[in-house]
């Protein structure tokens, strides 16, 4: 099968050049794929923001899931 040149007539029969007809259609991303890519990007950015905002809340040497009680002077 030979490649279609950009200036050759379009094989769909429209009478237009290939570069003005079907070449434009094959290079476009579908709306559903754009939506999926956008949602994945939003989730990744949201996760990054969540991680960056919680980095300052962790005290060095603090046990996981426990809080310091200044009143009692020990971890709860």
Contact 17, 10 (CB under 8 A): yes
Kindly report each contact of residues 42-49 with a partner whose C-beta sits within 8 Å and lies 24 or more positions away, as own/partner. none
Instruction: Specify the pLDDT at position 33.
Output: 86
pLDDT in tens, 10-51: 888 888 888 888 877 766 677 888 899 999 999 999 999 988
Distance CA(8)–CA(38), nearest Å, equals 36
Q: The pTM is what? A: 0.43
pLDDT attached to residue 35: 92
Task: Tell me what pLDDT residue 25 has.
Answer: 73
């Amino acid at each position: 099968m030979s490649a279609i040149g950009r200036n050759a007539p379009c094989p769909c029969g429209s009478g237009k050049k290939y570069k003005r007809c079907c070449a434009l259609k094959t290079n476009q991303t579908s709306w559903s794929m754009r939506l999926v890519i956008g949602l994945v990007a939003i989730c990744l950015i949201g996760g990054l923001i969540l991680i960056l905002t919680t980095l300052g809340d962790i005290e060095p040497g603090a046990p996981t899931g426990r809080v310091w009680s200044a009143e009692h002077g020990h971890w709860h």
